[in-house]
């Protein structure tokens, strides 16, 4: 059926949600065939999307259901850069190294290697999703698309909340790590005569969030260039570490630890059994560091040729951080003081600061911690950008309170200023947990891990089950055999990580200060999100809400796509 004549094929629509900025439409009756197809495996009626056949970004975004509002200024390198920047290898390893040494050097070295391999499998599956449906909403949109009919709205709402809160918690964890690094640099300057309190750390944290908010409120082109700066800054301090640390260790300490120490020294510093402690201490550094690769997804509507650049950004950032991070850890373990306890109990508050101090002295340690803090700041600015795009996308679909304000995009700069402000305010509020005690801080960091892994795994489960006949691969796809094998393996690993992150560091003698409250906060948030939807939000949130009229949609996708949908040439 040709769509060349509008009068011959008039489509009726029913307004679903009216807002101050644009309208959301739900196609009804026979007219719904203009955009939709129906699943035969239980996922109901959804938009027809075929990334492999789309000729440009705007056409594909229209098939997904949205008009182009942000400027596409992110190159493939810059899409890679936003994830690589957030992972921030050396700053992140500095923040998590103490926990990773809870099983000795072997746990940190091999735990990183094994966990990062499975994270790469998770990223490969996410890359398939992103290549097929590249949109800033990403996880909750995919969940809605593939979820069983009748459960789409509530499940996608929970995933949207989980992903948004996890990213906000990620801002907290990165900026709190920045506060600790700045405090460590000050402590080094004062030879240990500086008291680090929760209030001081929160003050530094709050200041960092506000500065990052201002930095993120600039044009999209400047944010894209910031990722290029971050790539070179992170690589610079890594190369500097590889050169300076071994030289200093050889000069000041007389030599390096041998291979048996680096790869085979296991020392269980907890009362968990050896196997569980290996997972608990060894996996978490990689899981925490090589996370937020979904930031590439949230930049989909600012990326050039998104169906290719976003998958490349996801996979390459994970792969580079896997290998480069492993080499960094090996280097650190070769240069560390063999007395692990003295490193963990450092008066400077950071195991890495103590390692650099032992090998290079005070001035080098201060310089390194300052450079690491600068790169940590770039990490925070990048994740603030990513979370603001998720918040904006979720508000565009009326998923958050005050959505009609948060989803506004400045017409001059093409920047969602209100979404950036909302993301930063949310991070400041979540960060108040850090004022309670270390247990609350740890729970906040665990929330970022658990919330993201739930959001990453849920659409994959539905894509492989109820929505399996809806998946149309984009340019990146492993094929019918390997794709489900990799996907199910990744889902199993993510389920294991969600459980793992709920456990405390000790098995016995748990008190209110050593309890891991992630087992309460994480599921509690998911349950409360479901209740909130049922009680109130179901009146406003109905899944992805298109902001394209039928005329705009037809013009954007072209007659061939309309003919394909109307003639039911594909299921």
Contact, 428 vs 206, CB < 8 A? yes
CB 477 within 8 A of CB 128: yes
With residue 491 as reference, give the H or E element that holds it.
helix 482-500
Per-residue burial over 531-540, b = 16 or more CB atoms within 10 Å of its CB, e = otherwise: ebbeeebeeb
The whole-angstrom distance between residue 423's C-alpha and the CA centroid of its chain comes to 14
| Pair of tokens at residue 408 | 């506004």
Q: Does domain 69-561 have CATH number 1.20.1740.10?
A: yes
Secondary structure (DSSP) of 351-416: HHHHHHHHHH-HHHHHHHHHHHHHHHHHHHHHHHHHHHHHHHHHHHTT-STTHHHHT---TTT---
For residues 145 and 133, the answer to whether their CB atoms sit within 8 Å is yes
Dig out the tokens for 86 from the structure.
């957030």
Q: Tokens 């290998």 — which residue? A: 323
Distance CA 387, CA 381 (A): 10
pTM of the model: 0.88
**Burial (CB count <10 Å: 0-12, 13-18, 19+), residue 414:** middle
Alpha carbons 337 and 154: distance in angstroms, whole number: 52
DSSP 8-state secondary structure symbol assigned to residue 303: B
Residue 558: CA count within 13 A, CB half-sphere: 12
Q: What is the 3-state secondary structure (H, E, C) of 246-289?
A: HHHHHHHHCCCCCHHHHHHCCCCCCCCCHHHHHHHHHHHHHHHH
- Run of H or E including 23: strand 23-27
Cβ atoms of residues 325 and 158 within 8 Å: no
For 526, residues 6+ apart whose C-beta sits below 8 A from its C-beta are: 158, 161, 162, 454
How far apart (Å, rounded) are the C-alpha atoms in residues 120 and 189? 39
H or E element, residue 13: strand 13-18
Whether the CB-CB separation of 297 and 314 falls below 8 Å is answered with yes
Q: Which residues contact 5 (CB under 8 A, 6 or more apart)?
A: none
Reported residue count of the chain is 571
516 by DSSP, 3-state: which? Answer: coil
* 60 touches 307 (CB < 8 A): yes
Beta strands in 81-206 (DSSP E): none
Cα separation, 321 vs 325, in Å, equals: 5
Helix (H, G, I), strand (E, B) or coil at 147: coil
Q: By CB neighbour count within 10 A (0-12 exposed, 13-18 middle, 19+ buried), where does 2 fall?
A: exposed
Q: What is the full per-residue pLDDT of the chain (571 aa) written as tens digits?
A: 333 333 333 333 333 322 233 333 333 332 345 678 888 999 988 988 989 888 899 999 999 999 999 889 899 999 999 999 989 888 888 888 888 888 899 999 999 999 999 999 999 999 999 999 999 999 999 999 999 999 999 999 999 999 999 898 888 888 888 888 888 878 878 777 777 777 888 899 899 999 989 888 876 667 788 888 889 999 999 999 999 999 999 988 888 999 999 999 998 888 889 999 999 999 999 998 998 899 999 999 999 999 999 999 999 999 999 999 999 999 999 999 888 888 888 777 778 888 998 899 888 888 888 888 888 888 888 889 999 999 999 999 999 998 989 999 988 888 899 999 999 999 899 888 777 777 777 777 788 899 999 999 999 999 999 999 999 999 999 999 999 999 999 999 999 999 999 988 888 878 777 788 888 888 888 999 999 999 999 999 999 988 887 778 888 777 777 777 766 544 4
R_g over Cα of the chain: 24
Within 8 A by CB and 6+ apart from 353, the residues are: 94, 184, 188, 346, 365, 368, 369
Neighbours of 541 (CB within 10 A): 24
**Rounded Cα–Cα distance for residues 118 and 281 (Å):** 16
Spatial neighbors of 546 by CB under 8 A, at least 6 apart, are 24, 25, 35, 47, 65, 66, 553
| DSSP designation for 539 | G
What token pair was written down for 383?
């994740």
Do the beta carbons of residue 393 and residue 136 sit within 8 Å? yes
Return the ∠ at Cα 163 (arms to 160 and 165), rounded to 5°.
105
Mapped onto helix, strand or coil, the DSSP state of residue 168 is helix
């Amino acid at each position: 059926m040709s769509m060349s004549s509008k009068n011959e094929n008039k489509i009726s629509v029913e307004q679903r949600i009216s807002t101050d900025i644009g309208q959301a439409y739900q196609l009804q009756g026979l007219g719904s065939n203009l955009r939709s197809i129906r699943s035969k495996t239980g996922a109901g009626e959804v938009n027809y999307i075929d990334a492999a056949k789309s000729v440009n970004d705007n056409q594909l975004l229209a098939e997904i259901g949205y008009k182009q509002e942000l400027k596409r200024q992110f190159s493939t390198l810059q899409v890679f850069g936003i994830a690589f920047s957030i992972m921030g290898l050396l700053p992140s390893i500095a923040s998590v190294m103490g926990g990773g040494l809870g099983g000795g050097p072997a746990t940190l070295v091999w735990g990183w290697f094994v966990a990062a391999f499975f994270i790469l499998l998770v990223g490969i599956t996410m890359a398939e999703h992103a290549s097929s449906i590249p949109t800033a909403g990403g996880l909750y949109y995919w969940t809605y698309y593939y979820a069983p009919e009748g459960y789409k709205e509530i499940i996608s709402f929970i995933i949207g909340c989980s992903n948004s809160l996890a990213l906000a918690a990620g801002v907290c964890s990165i900026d709190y790590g920045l506060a600790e690094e700045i405090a460590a640099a000050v402590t080094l300057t004062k030879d240990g005569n500086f008291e680090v309190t929760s209030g001081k750390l929160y003050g530094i944290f709050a200041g960092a969030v506000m500065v990052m908010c201002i930095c993120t409120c600039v044009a999209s082109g400047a944010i894209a260039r910031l990722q290029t700066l971050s790539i070179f800054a992170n690589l610079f301090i890594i190369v500097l570490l590889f050169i300076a640390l071994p030289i200093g260790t050889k000069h000041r300490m007389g030599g390096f630890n041998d291979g048996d120490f680096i790869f085979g020294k296991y020392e269980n510093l907890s009362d968990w059994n050896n196997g569980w402690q290996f997972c608990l201490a060894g996996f978490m550094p990689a899981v925490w560091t090589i996370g937020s690769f979904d930031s590439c997804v949230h930049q989909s509507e600012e990326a050039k040729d998104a169906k290719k650049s976003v998958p490349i950004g996801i996979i390459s950032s994970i792969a580079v951080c896997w290998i480069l991070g492993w080499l960094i850890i090996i280097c650190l373990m070769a240069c560390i003081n063999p007395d692990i306890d003295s490193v963990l109990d450092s008066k400077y508050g950071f195991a890495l600061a103590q390692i650099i101090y032992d090998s290079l002295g005070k001035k080098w340690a201060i310089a390194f911690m300052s450079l690491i803090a600068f790169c940590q700041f770039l990490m925070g600015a990048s994740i603030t950008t990513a979370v603001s795009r998720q918040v904006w996308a979720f508000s565009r679909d009326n998923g958050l309170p005050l959505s009609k304000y948060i989803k506004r995009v400045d017409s001059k700069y093409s920047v969602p200023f209100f979404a950036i402000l909302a993301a930063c305010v949310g991070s400041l509020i979540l960060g108040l947990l850090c004022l309670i005690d270390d247990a609350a801080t740890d729970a906040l960091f665990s929330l970022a891990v658990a919330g993201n892994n739930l959001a990453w795994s849920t659409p994959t489960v539905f894509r492989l089950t109820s929505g399996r006949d809806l998946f149309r691969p984009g340019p990146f796809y492993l094929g019918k055999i390997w794709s489900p094998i990799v996907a199910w393996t990744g889902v199993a690993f993510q389920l294991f990580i969600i459980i793992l992150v709920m456990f405390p560091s000790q098995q016995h003698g748990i008190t209110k200060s050593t309890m891991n409250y992630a087992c309460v906060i994480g599921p509690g948030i998911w349950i409360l999100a479901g209740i909130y939807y049922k009680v109130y939000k179901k009146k406003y949130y109905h899944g992805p809400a298109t902001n394209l009229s039928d005329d705009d949609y037809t013009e954007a996708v072209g007659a061939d796509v309309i003919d394909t949908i109307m003639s039911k040439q594909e299921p």
